[in-house]
Chain A
Amino acid sequence: MSIEPKKKKINLSVEIAGIQFQNPVLTASGTFGYGMEYTDFIDLNLLGGIVVKGLSIKPSHGNSPPRMVETASGMLNAIGLQNIGVEVFINEKLPLLKKFNANIIVNFFGDTQDEYVLAAERLNDITEIAALEMNISCPNVEKGGMTFGTEPKITEELVRKVRKVTSSPLIVKLSPNVTDIVVMAKAAVNGGADALSIINTLLGMAIDIKTRCPMLANVTGGLSGPAIKPVALRMVWQVAKAVDIPIIGIGGIMNAQDALEFIIAGATAVQVGTANFIDPSISVKIIEGIKNYCQKDKIGDIKDLIGTLRS
C-alpha cells in the first residue's frame, strides 16, 4: 500500500520568558496602534503577538506636527509617544484586544523612574497581558526616554526597579543610539530583563532647503524602515553572542527574508514595524513566507534556525 507523501507540519512556535508564541512574528509598538486599527486588513488571530503603542501612566498629547517625513527607504517620526494612558487602555482597548489569539504585549514608558514603576505596577497581574515591553529608548521625548537607555548604570537601576514591582515577563527595548549596544544589553540583563527587543529607531533629521527649516517640528526624529535593517541586524547578532536571554529582532523588516535574517542572526522572534503602514497585512504574509522557507529547506521547527549563522 502506497502512502501519499505528506507535507510535513512546520512548528513555528517559540518561547520567550515562559510565554508561548504561536509563531515568531509580532507587530512593533507605535506602528500597530492598539491593534483594532488593523482589523479591516488582517485576522489578528494569526499573529504571534501584538505590541501596543507605548503607554504612560497618564495620557500624553505627543509632539506638535509635522511629526513624520519620508526619507530614502525609510521614514523619520517624532510622534512623541502620544497615548491614551494605561487606565484607558485597560478599560477600553484591552477588552477588545483580548478576544484574539495573539499574545498582547504592552509597551510602556515614563518621564521619570517613578512613572515607569507606577505604569508597571498598574499593568502587573492582568491575565490578558502576556508581557510588558519597557521602552527606555524613545528618541522623541525631552525627559527620560532615550537617556534611560543610553547610560548603562541608569538602565540597570531602572530595570531593577521595574522588575521588583511586576511578575509579568519583562522585555526591555534597547536604543541603537549608543556606542556599544552590548554594554546596554548586559545592563538590562543585570537589572532583571527576561528578554530584549532590539532595536528602537535611530536618531536622525531632515531639512527643507527652501525654507531652511527642519522637516519635523521636533527637529530630530527616529529613523525606521528598510534603511536601518543592516544596523539592526548587526546589533542583534552582537547581542545574541553576548547574552543568554531571548532577543526580539526589530528594524526595517519588510518581508520574510528580512525576518529570517534576524532569526539566523540570533533573534527568537521579530517585530514588524514600518512595513505595516505600507501593507497592513504584511505580518501575515511574513508568517506564510517563513513557513514556506522552512518547508523548502526542510526545517521542521523554527527554533532550529535561531542563531545558526555560519562563518
Chain B
Amino acid sequence: MFVTIVENNEISAGYFRLAIHSPELAENTKPGQFIMMKVGDNYDPLLRRPMGIHKISNKDNNPCVELLYQVVGKGTSMMSKMKKGQQVDVLGPFGNGFAIPQNIKIAVFVAGGVGIAPLAMLAEKMVKDATDLKTYLFIGGKSKNDVLCLDDFEKLNTKICIATENGSLGNQGLVTNSVSKFIDQKANGQASFFACGPYQMLKAVSELTAKKNIPCQVSLDRRMACGFGACLGCVVKVTQGNHGSYKNVCTDGPVFDANEICW
C-alpha cells in the first residue's frame, strides 16, 4: 500500500525519524512489529527493507506510524533523502511483536543504538496499560550521538542508566556491564527484560538473565527478502522448533524468548 511521508528528520547525526500517515498501520500495529518498505522505484535496491515500528502518533489529526533508523547502507541512505509529502510503498505490519506479561511489576528495557526504536513504543504501551509498573532503561551506544529517545522514557518516569563506549555520556563501557551489576544487585523474579540492539549485546543480556531465570524477550534484526515467511532467508537457529532447527525471524519473530535462541 502507498502511504504518505509526513516527516523525515535527522534527530542525531546519522539517525532519522520518519513518520508516515496510515490509519491502518496506526490502528493495527503492536509494539515489536515491523513493516517492509520499498526504497526507490527501480530494481536497485531491489528488495524492501524491514523497518521496526518506533511509535504510533498523531500529527495534525493524522494517525501515523514512526520509524527510527540509522543510515548504514544504500537503502537507508536513500530513505534519508525522502521528502515530506512523498508517497512510499509499504507492506505490513508483520511479525509477532512483544508479548506483554500480565501483572508485570518491573520492566527492564535494554537498548543498543537504534535498538531503542521498538522499545519506546513498548514502554509507552506498558506504562499506559499497567498500574504500578516500575520501568528501567539501560541504553548504550558508541558515543552520546548514538543514545536516542531519552525524553520518551523520561516522560514515563523510567529510571535510566546510560553507557557509552567512549564515555561521552553516562558510564564508560558497554551497556551490558551496567545490566550485569543491576541483575546481581536488584533484579528478581518480578522483573521482565526486553532487549533490542546488536547481536552481541542481545547474547550477553540473554546469558545474564538466564543465570537468574529472569524472563527476557529479544527483538532480532535480520536481512529479509520478503518479510512474510516465504523466502526462508532470515532464519535464526533455535533450541527447538516445529520445522527443524531454524525459525523465521519475520513470522516466528522478530521477538523471541531469549532462551529459545541458539546464541
Contacts and interface: CB of A to CB of B under 8 A. Distances in A.
Contacts of A59: 243-244
A290 interface: no
Interface string B41-78: 00111111000000000000000000000000000000
B229 A33 contact: yes
A75 B224 CA distance: 11
B57 to A, nearest CB: 26
A293 interface: no
Nearest to B236: A65
A84 interface: yes
B223 interface: yes
B233 A226 contact: no
Contacts of B48: 277-278
A17 interface: no
A278 B232 contact: no
B229 A37 contact: yes
Contacts of A226: 43, 46
B47 A277 contact: yes
A113 interface: no
B244 A68 contact: no
A74 to B, nearest CB: 6
A254 B228 CA distance: 19
Given A62-B232, A65-B236, A68-B234, A278 B244 contact: no
Chain A contact residues: helix, strand, loop or mixed: loop
A225 B13 CA distance: 34
B232 A82 contact: yes
B232 A70 contact: no
Contacts of B38: 278
Contact of A69 (B223, B232, B245): B223
B222 interface: yes
Contact of B244 (A67, A73, A82, A274): A82
Given A59-B244, A61-B245, A62-B235, A276 B230 contact: yes
Interface in B205-241: 222-226, 228-237
Contact of B230 (A37, A61, A65): A37
Contact of A37 (B224, B228, B236, B246): B228
Nearest to B231: A277
Interface residues of B, number: 27
Contacts of B246: 61-62, 65, 82
Contacts of B233: 67-68, 77, 79
Given A69-B223, A73-B43, A79 B232 contact: yes
A77 B231 contact: yes
B237 A74 contact: no
A31 B244 CA distance: 19
Contact of B237 (A60, A65, A227): A65
B183 interface: no
A230 interface: no
B204 interface: no
A282 to B, nearest CB: 12
Interface in A126-155: none
Given A32-B230, A65-B235, A280-B226, A70 B45 contact: yes
Contact of A77 (B91, B225, B236, B243): B225
B237 A68 contact: no
Given A65-B235, A68-B231, A277-B225, A254 B91 contact: no
A75 B230 contact: no
A84 B242 CA distance: 9
Which of A32, A60, A277, A280 is most buried by chain B, counting CB atoms within 10 A of its CB?
A: A277
B71 to A, nearest CB: 16
B235 A67 contact: yes
Contact of A278 (B47, B229, B235, B245): B47
14 contacts: A31-B230, A31-B231, A33-B229, A37-B228, A60-B244, A65-B236, A67-B233, A68-B233, A75-B47, A79-B231, A274-B225, A277-B226, A277-B230, A278-B48
10 interchain residue pairs of minimum CB distance: A68-B233, A277-B226, A61-B244, A73-B43, A277-B225, A33-B230, A37-B230, A226-B43, A67-B233, A37-B229
Interface of B: 38, 43-48, 91, 222-226, 228-237, 243-246
Given A33-B230, A66-B222, 6 more contacts: A68-B223, A68-B224, A77-B225, A77-B233, A79-B231, A278-B38
Interface of A: 30-33, 37-38, 40-41, 53, 59-62, 64-70, 72-75, 77, 79, 82, 84, 225-227, 254, 274, 276-278, 280
